[in-house]
Structure 1
Amino acid sequence: MKSNPITWCEIYVQDMERAKSFYETVFQMKLEKLESPGMEMWAFPMSMEAIGGSGALVQMEGVKSGGIGTIPYFHCNDVADEESRVVAAGGQVFKPKMSIGQYGFMALIVDTEGNTIGLHMPPQATE
């Protein structure tokens, strides 16, 4: 297996417009609509030439959102910036910014659909 083996993640939602608004507000970016039969998908910014994974918000009949079974982490230059926009965007801060020692800083937040996601900044990033 190669390094960084996860190449894609899907965050399931019940209300796409509400979820899109949350992610675009917290991360200060625009999602791109993907054409996919049988579901509505909006992708996070991605580059097919870069290492690492991307993903999309997905609304599909019969698939519920919520829970904390798998947590995708989003890279941040400073976790505090994204964390500061969570509540105003309709989400909750579950675990505020905290040190994870040599691995940097992280926070856990809950989106408008009940999904827990992580925010991560590497140790060399500005605190």
Structure 2
Amino acid sequence: MSTLYTAIVTASGREGRAVSSDGLLDLTLAPPSELGGTGEGTNPEQLFAAGYAACFASALSLVARRRKLDVSHASVTAEVGLVAAAEGRMGLEVTLRVELPDELHGEQGEALVEAAHQVCPYSNATRGNIPVRLVVE
């Protein structure tokens, strides 16, 4: 494999900043109030959800284009949960809610979403590591 692009971001923890090497991303980080934080900044789970949703939507468009289908009005919502795992470890769980045009509901839409799940780099990175649930809406 050859690297096509490398994103570089430096973060100082759940409370602090996350800044990209090109300066285009510069965010305040803060734990959510549900975890005892102030909630006055974004958090790693939101950033992961944003990246996964955008990546999956792009994969969906790629697969649809190959099948000569129009998904220009589709959207992907990623729900990333922080979960307590065994032995005090923490983990993630993901639900991807894919809203498709009405004409793509049913088996065709489900097959399209599953194909996108095989193409998406985030899906490939998480496969076998965290549970990912696909919901076609």
Q: Which structure has more helix as a fraction of its residues?
A: 2
- Which protein has greater RCO, CA pairs closer than 8 Å, 6+ apart? 1
Calculate the TM-score normalised by the size of structure 1: 0.28
Query: Which structure: larger Rg?
Result: 2
- Greater fraction of residues in strand: 1
TM-score, scaled to structure 2: 0.27
